[in-house]
Structure formats: structure tokens, C-alpha cells
Amino acid sequence: MKQALYTIKSNRALTRDMYEMILEGDTSDMTAPGQFVNLRLDGFFLRRPISVCNQEGDTFTILYKVIGHGTEKMAQMKAGEVIDILTGLGNGYDTAKSGDAPLLVGGGAGVPPMYLLARRLIAEGKKVTVILGFNKAEEIFYREEFEAIGVKVLIATADGSVGVKGFVTDALADAGAYTYTYACGPEPMLKALYNATDVSGQYSFEERMGCGFGACMGCSCKTKYGNKRICRDGPVLTKEEIIW
């Protein structure tokens, strides 16, 4: 973990309520895809946890959905502004377990960490397929970005306006054979995936956080391997240890 100041390079809307922010600063503690950062915003007591979507050299990208006052404030920030951020939080995904042809599944605000994960897996020579789940066509983001790095992209929309109609699990049949799964998204999506496939994997969870670095026990969950803190021992849990 590192606390430092990061400068906004760009901040733009991808859809009506999904934004992309690129930041510059010390990224030395970001060690794995699936980790998150915790942003301190003026006027808010708690920090805001957001997954790392991409990282290259001393810049990194976050994608955030505007849902409340904090993310609303983030959406108004401009290039050049500086944010106090804790980086390198959480365990992240272990790419060593993926096999040759991993399947990535991201739903809504769970799509972002899949991008850095996909890049890392591709760099390791793996054949990557991703299923992205959205409610409707207007909410789709990062499809081209995934395609540009050589990922096979399948889209599921709840209203059927693009891709398979239904949930991410309805697109599983089109994914072909896969060796492992990596997932991030709302809990009902994770649970549906858990039940829909026998293939092992790693699932990323969300919880309301006090600190985000393991000190307050605000984010605890029970697993088959004992109590864990989502912020420090997670957010990624292996499929085998999850208790729903």
C-alpha cells in the first residue's frame, strides 16, 4: 500500500453515468490486476474504493459509475487536479491459475478490472474471452478497448439490444471451451455464474469499507478458509472458498 498524490490527466464520460479517469503518479505498489485504490475526496469523510482498470508506467485508469455524491464530485473534476489516493490495495487476481484459455466475466461496474487482467493474461500468451454484461446498448463501454488488445468479446444485455439477451450466464454457451474463470460484478451475477459453470475461478467482491487496508474489520466475510477482510485478504476470493 502507498499513500500519494496523483494528478488527473483526463476525466471523461464513456456513457451517461460511467466515467474514465486517468491519473499519474507513483504506481509502484500496484502489483496485480484486480487490486483497487481508495480515493480521498474533499468534503467526504470516507475514501471511495475503485478498481484499477489499467496501469502502464506511472499512469493508471479507473472507470467509475456515478451513483452518489462522491462519484458525482469525481465526475466534475478536471485534468490537472490532484487527488490523495491509497494504491496497491487488496490481493488482486492470480494469473498463474488461468490455464491456456481463461474466461473473464464482468457485469456493469464490475467490468473495469477485467481490462487490466485481460492485458496481463494476453501478455502471458493466453487466449482470452470476455463476457461483458450490461442492461442496455447505451450502457456499453470499453468494448473496442477489449477488442483492440485481442480479446474475444461477448456482450449480454438484459434488454437484448446488443448481443445475447439476458445475463452474462446466457452468453456462456457462446464462449467455447475455457480453462478457468475470473469474475467481477454484482453479487447476484457472481452467484449465477458460480452455479452455471463447474470450472474453477476467482471472483471479486464488494463491501462497504471503513479503511480499505485491513485495520477496521468493517468489510469482513466468512469463507470456507476462515474469516477474511474483503479489502485486504480479498477482494478476490477463489471459487472454492466462497460461502454464499
Partner 1 sequence: MNTKVTLTGVTLDNPVIPASGTFGYGYEYAELYDINVLGSLSFKGTTKDPRFGNPTPRIAECPAGMINAVGLQNPGVDAVIAEELPRLRSVFHKPIIANVGGFSIEEYVHCCEKPDKEDGVAILEVNISCPNVHSGGRNFGNAPETAAEVTRAVKAATKKPVYIKLSPNVTDIVSIAKACEEAGADGISMINTLLGMRIDLRRKKPIIANKMGGFSGDAIFPVAVRMIYQVYEAVKIPIIGIGGVSSAEDVIEMMLAGATAVQVGAANLVNPFACRDIVLDLPRAMEKYGIDDLTSIIGGAH
Ligand X SMILES: Cc1cc2nc3c(=O)[nH]c(=O)nc-3n(C[C@H](O)[C@H](O)[C@H](O)COP(=O)(O)OP(=O)(O)OC[C@H]3O[C@@H](n4cnc5c(N)ncnc54)[C@H](O)[C@@H]3O)c2cc1C
Ligand Y SMILES: Cc1cc2nc3c(=O)[nH]c(=O)nc-3n(C[C@H](O)[C@H](O)[C@H](O)COP(=O)(O)O)c2cc1C
Chain positions contacting partner 1, by CB under 8 A = 1, 3, 40, 44-47, 86, 207-211, 213-222, 227, 232
Our CB check for ligand Y shows the closer of 45 and 244 to be 45
Burial class, 31, CB count within 10 angstroms (exposed 0-12 / middle 13-18 / buried 19+): exposed
Cβ contact 5:27 at 8 Å = no
Site mask, ligand FES, residues 42-81, x = CB under 6 A? ----------------------------------------
- From the list 121, 211, 236, 237, which residue makes contact with ligand FES (rule: CB under 6 A)? 211
Our CB check for partner 1 shows the closer of 44 and 58 to be 44
| Partner interacting with residue 46 (select from ligand Y, ligand FES, partner 1, none; CB below 5-8 Å by kind) | partner 1
From the list 12-20, 147-155, 196-204, 214-222, the region that binds ligand FES by CB under 6 A is 214-222
17 lines the binding site for ligand X (CB under 6 A): no
Tell me which amino acid residue 127 is: K
Cβ contact 197:181 at 8 Å = yes
- The C-alpha cell at 23 is 491519473
Cβ contact 187:160 at 8 Å = no
> Taking CB under 6 A as the criterion, which residues in 185-214 touch ligand Y?
210
Which residue(s) pair with 221 in the sheet? 228
Tell which residue, 56, 37, 57, has the closest CA to residue 48. 37
229 lines the binding site for ligand FES (CB under 6 A): yes
> Taking CB under 6 A as the criterion, which residues in 123-182 touch ligand Y?
none
Phi, psi (deg, nearest 5) at residue 133: -110, 130
Burial class, 75, CB count within 10 angstroms (exposed 0-12 / middle 13-18 / buried 19+): middle
* The pairing of beta strand 164-165 with beta strand 102-107: unpaired
| Size of the chain in residues | 244
207 lines the binding site for ligand X (CB under 6 A): yes
DSSP state of 242: B
Site mask, ligand X, residues 107-146, x = CB under 6 A? --x--x----------------------------------
230 lines the binding site for ligand Y (CB under 6 A): no
- Three-state SS for 30? coil
Site for ligand Y, rule CB under 6 A: 210, 216, 218
Site for ligand X, rule CB under 6 A: 36, 46, 48-51, 63-65, 67-71, 109, 112, 206-209, 235
Site for ligand FES, rule CB under 6 A: 209-212, 214-219, 229, 231
